[in-house]
């Protein structure tokens, strides 16, 4: 293999730039030519491909977002779109592709591999919702952004004796909510993996109130529902007045934490090593601090269960 390419796809996440940098630099270090594909699969089908040099990825390791930009593409989901993408790569003599993205991007990479073009998947999403890895690139940064927000909201909740509902991202996964709720000392954490009863939640809040606590923080994963709806239910059923904070896209931006940068660098370098060994169709992750690679097709569309012990702990500590 002499030429490889890298792209970012789906939702962006902090650390994607560090991963691109690792692929480019490790590739050049290993004697390869490395190409950047702009605008994800959409740009790939259109041939938006440029050779990258060592300097092309200078000064990006600390930046959020992705220098290659990202996009979503319906056309790429078709066989025709995938063949178009492969022909653009082949026209430049490129023989392997590193895809940094979430679950949908993995499915795309699996399809290209199926059609004979070797791809490697790197987990780039804040949601931590990809199987075969304990952590995705961007999760740690998003977690710290949310914890910082919870700390700030706690100040005002305490000053005004208020109950706050903080809605966080995660799509169908509760990882951001669980980890940030635990780290932020939330009284209640609502995640899609654990169906909740409003009555039970009120009992928990009331037990705090009965020992003199006047403010509470509820962390709500977006996969459960909206903060607006929950506030309406709490008012309607229990007369509990709440304030809402929907954190939104600030969770996706910002400079990556040291941990995300190291993770991105390790995973990016491993992707190049696999391609050099002639291996495609692998998804790279980190399990128990070891870098692993698993079958991309088996990983795509799946999610590992949440660490149950963390959920139990969050319940035990928020009595």
Active site residue 228: no
**Using CB under 6 A, which of 4, 10, 256, 281 touches ligand ATP?**
10
> C-alpha angle 246/247/250, rounded to 5°?
150
Cα 184 off chain centre by: 20
**Using CB under 6 A, which of 39, 113, 125, 245 touches ligand ATP?**
125
Closest distance of CB 73 from ligand ATP, Å:
4
Closest distance of CB 41 from ligand ATP, Å:
4
Q: DSSP secondary-structure letter at 78?
A: S
Kindly tell me which of 7 and 178 has the beta carbon lying closer to ligand ATP.
7
Q: Does 139 bind ligand ATP (CB under 6 A)?
A: no
130 labeled binding residue: no
Query: Choosing from 127, 129, 175, 260, which is the catalytic residue?
Result: 127
Q: Does 26 bind ligand ATP (CB under 6 A)?
A: no
**Using CB under 6 A, which of 30, 107, 242, 297 touches ligand ATP?**
107
Q: What is the C-alpha to C-alpha distance for residues 82 and 117, in angstroms, rounded to an integer?
A: 10
Sole window of 16-24, 43-51, 72-80, 210-218 interacting with ligand ATP (rule: CB under 6 A): 72-80
Tokens of 134: 């304990």
172 labeled binding residue: no
Closest distance of CB 180 from ligand ATP, Å:
18
Kindly tell me which of 125 and 257 has the beta carbon lying closer to ligand ATP.
125
Kindly tell me which of 38 and 41 has the beta carbon lying closer to ligand ATP.
41
Q: How far is CA 23 from CA 6, 146, 264, 273, 301, in A?
A: 7, 29, 9, 10, 24
Tokens of 169: 């991202």
Q: What is the C-alpha to C-alpha distance for residues 147 and 49, in angstroms, rounded to an integer?
A: 38
Q: Does 111 bind ligand ATP (CB under 6 A)?
A: yes
Q: Where are the beta strands (DSSP E) in 15-162?
A: 33-37, 49-52, 96-101, 119-123
**Using CB under 6 A, which of 8, 9, 163, 257 touches ligand ATP?**
9
Query: In the Cβ-directed half-sphere of 261, how many Cα atoms lie within 13 Å?
Result: 10
DSSP for 197-260 reads -HHHHHHHHHHHHHTT---EEEEEETTT--HHHHHHHHHHHH---EEEEE-GGGGT-SPPPHHH
> C-alpha angle 282/300/57, rounded to 5°?
55
**Using CB under 6 A, which of 14, 27, 64, 104 touches ligand ATP?**
104
Q: Does 141 bind ligand ATP (CB under 6 A)?
A: no
Sole window of 70-78, 173-181, 188-196, 241-249 interacting with ligand ATP (rule: CB under 6 A): 70-78
CB atoms within 10 A of CB 82: 21
Size of the site for ligand ATP (CB under 6 A): 18
Residue 262 burial (10 A CB sphere; 0-12, 13-18, 19+): middle
> Annotated binding site for ATP: which residue ranges?
11, 72-73, 102-105
Q: Which residues are catalytic?
A: 127
Q: Which residues bind ligand ATP (CB under 6 A)?
A: 9-11, 41, 72-73, 76-77, 101-105, 107-108, 111, 125, 127
């Amino acid at each position: 293999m002499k030429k490889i390419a890298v792209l970012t796809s789906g939702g962006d996440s902090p650390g994607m730039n560090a991963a691109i940098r690792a692929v480019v630099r490790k590739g050049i270090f290993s004697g390869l030519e490395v190409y950047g594909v702009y605008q994800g699969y959409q740009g790939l089908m259109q041939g938006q491909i440029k050779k990258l040099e060592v300097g092309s990825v200078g000064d990006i390791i600390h930046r959020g977002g992705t220098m290659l930009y990202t996009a979503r593409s319906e056309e790429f989901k078709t066989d025709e779109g995938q063949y178009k993408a492969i022909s653009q790569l082949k026209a430049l003599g490129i023989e392997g592709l590193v895809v940094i993205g979430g679950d949908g991007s993995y499915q795309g990479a699996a399809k290209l591999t199926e059609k004979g073009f070797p791809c490697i998947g790197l987990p780039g999403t804040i949601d931590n919702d990809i199987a075969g890895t304990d952590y995705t690139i961007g999760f740690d940064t998003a977690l710290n952004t949310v914890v910082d927000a919870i700390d700030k909201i706690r100040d005002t909740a305490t000053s005004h004796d208020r109950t706050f509902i903080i809605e966080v991202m995660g799509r169908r996964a509760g990882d951001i909510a669980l980890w940030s709720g635990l780290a932020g000392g939330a009284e209640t954490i609502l995640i899609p993996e654990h169906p909740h009863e409003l009555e039970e939640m009120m009992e928990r809040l009331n037990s705090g109130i009965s020992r003199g606590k006047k403010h509470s923080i509820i962390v709500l994963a977006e996969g459960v529902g909206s903060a607006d709806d929950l506030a309406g239910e709490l008012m309607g059923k229990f007369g509990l007045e709440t304030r809402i904070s929907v954190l939104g896209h600030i969770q996706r931006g910002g400079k990556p934490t040291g941990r995300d940068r190291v993770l991105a660098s390790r995973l990016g370098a491993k992707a190049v090593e696999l391609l050099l060994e002639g291996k495609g169709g692998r998804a790279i992750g980190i399990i128990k601090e070891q870098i692993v690679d698993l079958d991309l097709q088996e990983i795509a569309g799946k999610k590992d269960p949440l660490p149950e012990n963390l959920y139990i702990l969050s319940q035990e500590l928020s009595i």
